[in-house]
Chains A and B, each alone.
Chain A
């Protein structure tokens, strides 16, 4: 084709048929018939609602659209605190109404001797402190009674001290645990006679007074009101040599089930890896996704096992937010000023999509924990498996190298409904008493999502968690 002829003799740099066609189109626009000009003037970008009923039309459209999402998960927020409140109240009233039945000495002979010894040595003659100190551990066991009275001094100067679960050895000034007391009780209930050790070595008055002060301090601390949050501990029952006891049975504490409640933060980190042909590069997705944060709430039942082991299971609800941040640059032809019909120009286009994605799922964990430490501070690690069910997912991601996918249903997103996870969680706990403790627990979870149907990539994720919780025995 003769270019000169086409362009009417006007030299025009055309290098391809595409450019030639574009030149001809330009000519058409410039050389419009008067009718075409008038038509374009009237109808290009014209707006009018003439001939239609906008409100009636909208009603018809709204009926066909998907219903607005309702916030059904509100009840999740109510369920956990209600459960916590119910369990706490139940435990509190259950322990409050339970009476502690004291152990008894089985033989009449022992009763008589115990009575004699108890009465004899429960009074510490202050005036004789310089000369002797009576030490009797077993009879000081107060566990079976709400209060035990220790009389100090001769009759006229007797002071009454009340104390409950702790023993004070006046000489050593140490607290003796109920375990130790029980040990002594066992000795006292044996064939061996109750020993009353009377020291005749001189005792300094100051030392003796210190003993009294320690005893008084214990009594003051013990008389402080008990925190209502922590229920009365069903610690193991000890045998006692007190005369008032009538029940012959001793009831060891149950170490069966503990209720555990945890709440904390969680971060979800996606990891993709190539597996054959893919829609999108794994590195592109890894760079485009960023963890933001979320929460998790867990309610578990824990069963103590022999040794320091325990097993637990329960339910855990988690919700996380991630950021999808993706920018693509490419060379393109576009309309000048983005106006269709105007000149096509070479341009570098950039598209950036930044969106907050959301995931919510529930987990059924099966966990094994090992714990050790002292009476108060406990340390351990917990590990196990979890079966996870995705409740909802919404957000944006890549479908391929150039297409952004928007998803808003658990069945249509890039994450599978069911997935498995493993976890390793070290923790540190503080034991308030035998029944109640709190713990701080970290966690590292690994989750498998299999091969993604959307990405055609292998998909895994890593969760980092930090939780605080309370454990109650019942």
Chain B
């Protein structure tokens, strides 16, 4: 994804063709971002619509000195997802109960799992840990940025990441780790 400043400036002047072009370039990436952060996938199209509307309406606030354009739009998408998750949690009274016993997932099994299954399995992680895990490990945000995004402090962000990794280690046996590394290499 390579967004030029000229395209952004044309979007700022409400050039519909330019806006459509920017939308087409960003959609595949932001769709995956929303897939990772949204708990309820039936809301994905609505969340994406809200994300893009926010991007175009606040495009004049994008400042290249603070972050890349990709990082900026990712933050917007994540914010929309978290907001929707919070709304749904408030409405929902059902508590997420983690099963005590899970079958072991070996690296071979892991490689064969589809993206949806992989994500479904990972979502069993407590939501607070899951969000920090995604933000740090996949989207590359620093703990300072995660703290700003989630409205927590930096120390809590580190703690949640540590706990998410501990959760993964607990659910997936360490004994398969070296075998996995060998097969990957």
Contacts and interface: CB of A to CB of B under 8 A. Distances in A.
Contacts of B142: 25
Interface in B1-30: 1, 9, 12-16, 19-20, 23-24, 27-29
Contact of B60 (A57, A60, A342, A405): A405
A49 B13 CA distance: 27
A42 interface: yes
B27 A54 contact: yes
Interface string B47-81: 01100110011001001110110010000000000
Interface residues on A, range: 35 or more
Contacts of A56: 45
Interface residues of B, number: 62
A21 B1 CA distance: 31
A66 to B, nearest CB: 6
Given A52-B45, A53-B45, A65-B14, A35 B168 contact: yes
Given A42-B115, A61-B49, A69-B14, A35 B141 contact: no
B16 A62 contact: yes
Interface string B147-172: 00000001000100100010011001
A47 B28 contact: yes
Nearest to A65: B56
B179 to A, nearest CB: 8
A276 to B, nearest CB: 27
Given A69-B13, A340-B68, A28 B161 contact: yes
Given A51-B35, A339-B140, A349-B65, A58 B161 contact: no
B64 A36 contact: no
A43 B9 CA distance: 30
Contacts of A51: 31, 35, 41, 44
B124 interface: no
Contact of B158 (A21, A33, A40): A21
Contacts of A29: 137
A45 B71 CA distance: 11
B14 A48 contact: no
Contact of A47 (B32, B53, B71, B184): B32
B184 A37 contact: yes
A438 B71 CA distance: 61
Nearest to B68: A338
B110 interface: yes
B53 A340 contact: no
A56 B45 CA distance: 9
A403 interface: yes
Interface string A336-361: 00111110000001010001000000
B27 A49 contact: yes
B84 interface: no
Contact of A61 (B28, B56, B68, B158): B56
Given A57-B49, A406-B12, A39 B138 contact: yes
B143 A25 contact: yes
B65 to A, nearest CB: 5
Contacts of A332: 65
Contacts of B27: 49, 52, 54, 57
Contact of B137 (A34, A39, A50, A54): A39
Interface string B118-146: 11001000000000000011111111000
A57 B14 contact: no
Given A35-B110, A39-B137, A47-B32, A68 B172 contact: no
Contact of A340 (B12, B49, B57, B139): B139
A408 interface: yes
A351 B31 contact: no
A34 B107 contact: yes
Given A39-B137, A54-B24, A404-B63, A48 B48 contact: no
Nearest to A349: B65
Interface string A265-309: 000000000000000000000000000000000000000000000
A43 B23 contact: no
B20 A57 contact: no
A28 B140 CA distance: 12
Contacts of A33: 165, 168-169, 172, 177
Contacts of B57: 65
Contact of B16 (A35, A68, A351): A68
B168 A38 contact: no
Contact of B143 (A21, A50, A338): A21
A362 B9 CA distance: 28
Listed from nearest, the 6 A-B pairs whose CB atoms lie closest are: A341-B140, A47-B28, A340-B140, A34-B180, A406-B60, A46-B32
Interface of A: 21, 24-25, 28-29, 32-40, 42-54, 56-58, 60-62, 64-69, 328, 330, 332, 338-342, 349, 351, 355, 394, 402-406, 408
Interface of B: 1, 9, 12-16, 19-20, 23-24, 27-29, 31-32, 35-36, 41, 44-45, 48-49, 52-53, 56-57, 60, 63-65, 67-68, 71, 105, 107, 110-111, 115, 118-119, 122, 136-143, 154, 158, 161, 165, 168-169, 172, 176-177, 180-181, 184
27 contacts: A24-B158, A25-B142, A28-B136, A32-B137, A33-B169, A35-B172, A38-B107, A38-B118, A39-B122, A43-B115, A46-B32, A47-B1, A57-B49, A61-B49, A62-B19, A62-B20, A65-B53, A65-B57, A68-B14, A69-B14, A340-B68, A340-B71, A340-B139, A402-B65, A406-B12, A408-B12, A408-B13
